[in-house]
Amino acid sequence: MGRLGREIAIVGVGMTPFGRSKKDQLEMFGEAAMDAINGSGLKPKDIEALFLGNAVGDLSEGQTVIASHAIAEIGLLGKAATRVEGACAAGTMAIIMGVMAIASGRYDIVLAAGTERQTVSGTAFATRIMNTGPHHFYEEPTGLTFPGIFAMMAHYYAKKYDVPLGELKDAMAKVAIKNHKNGAKNPKCQFPSITDLMEKRKAKAKQEGKPVPTWADEMDFLHDSKVNMMIAQPLQLFDCCPISDGAAAVVLAPVDIARKLTDKPVIIAGFGQGAAGGIITQRDFTRLIARESSAKQAYDMAGLTPKDIDVCELHDCFTIAEIVATEGLGFFDFGEGYKAVERGDTVMGGKIPINPSGGLKAKGHPVGATGVAQAYEITNQLRGNCGERQVEGAKVGMTDTMGGPFASVANIIFKRGW
């Protein structure tokens, strides 16, 4: 994989809180974009082009040509603006397009961002919108939703690797516990820790004069089907990421310019992108063609291997997805990812800390913004800005986003530029 003609770095990052917002997707974009620009040492007029990840804004808020409206939102009339659509991978793809635009020599300063407002749709319509991702002729008419697709992944994984389903479910529960625990230390996260949720439920029961639950610990809580109800067997409520609103942005510049703007530029060392259609084109749900292709591109371009990665933000739309992704990215052998969870390899201080931000599972998943939010987290991790959730000594980080039913994956590897 050839290297770029110009080395590109992130000089500024911005992100809104994730969750339920009263702002529309353009207002959220403006907030994140201005934070990123203000943190870069630049002014809005210095931005030459925008690449904006947005998956379903035309359906959720009825807004097309959203990139043009977004560039106007920050007062940059006449500048180039392009919407990038790749479902959940849209934000990462927007960054990659911004990197290539600078590497081509056409621009020097590019804003890459993502924004999405999904809670406005309500559960039923949001589900219908998300179901535009599977193949419209072969998959969508079956009624199979994303929880159903990833439930199939869990069953396939258990069968292929001869893992008792109960054992796999416990590993998945530990993924949820870990990510909620990490997210509780992230002020922009949508959900608190599972311990906090337990205590709130106990307090509410006591206040209402009802029997107070006696959960022994977080695993006991997740084994309670009254609070952790079945969604698509074997996936329960806490195995699933939420519907979210939010936006994130990064400012990109060539390294020579970046080093004049900040003493901590974060370099884009490598990236990859792969596509593979829908689930009808893929026989093995545990070996995602798009991810393995994309990750190899990123590693080859960076001249690195999975052992070089200090921290990773990856696509945990469902807890089983995190386990499968850790294998597809090369952190663990195939069929060993669930064992790594059991060993504690993916917690803070473990072999490879996964999703210190809380991940999609706890931080939230506003689809078009997710990949850029991952870049926001990794940039701050490499800069040492993450406080209680800081991965000590992190010098190389990676992001992984997957769009549609295993259809599109994009990866970026970041390294310190100082």
**Euclidean distance between CA atoms 79 and 101, whole angstroms:** 14
For 169, the token pair is 């479910």
Do strands 408-416 and 396-403 pair parallel, antiparallel, or not at all (unpaired)?
Answer: antiparallel
Peptide bond into 234 cis (omega under 30): yes
Degrees, nearest 5: CA angle 183-188-189: 35
- 11-36 burial code (b ≥16 CB/10 A, e <16): bbbbbbbbbbbebbbbebbbbbbbbb
C-alpha angle 134/139/142, rounded to 5°? Answer: 125
Whole-angstrom distance, CA of residue 34 vs CA of residue 142: 43
Contacts of 297 (CB under 8 A, 6+ apart): 1, 270, 271, 272, 273, 274, 411
Catalogue the active-site residues: 88, 365
DSSP 86: B
How many CA atoms does the CB half-sphere of 123 hold within 13 Å? 2
Q: Give the E-state strand segments of 302-380 in sequence order.
A: 311-313
Q: At what angle do helices 90-103 and 370-383 cross, to 10 degrees?
A: 70
The count of other CB atoms within 10 Å of the CB of residue 286 is: 20
Residue 95: half-sphere exposure toward Cβ, Cα within 13 Å: 39
Is 407:204 a contact under the CB 8 Å cutoff? no
Beta bridge partners of 114: 53, 248
CA 36 – CA 248 distance, rounded (Å): 8
Residue 33 and residue 29: Cα distance in Å, rounded? 6
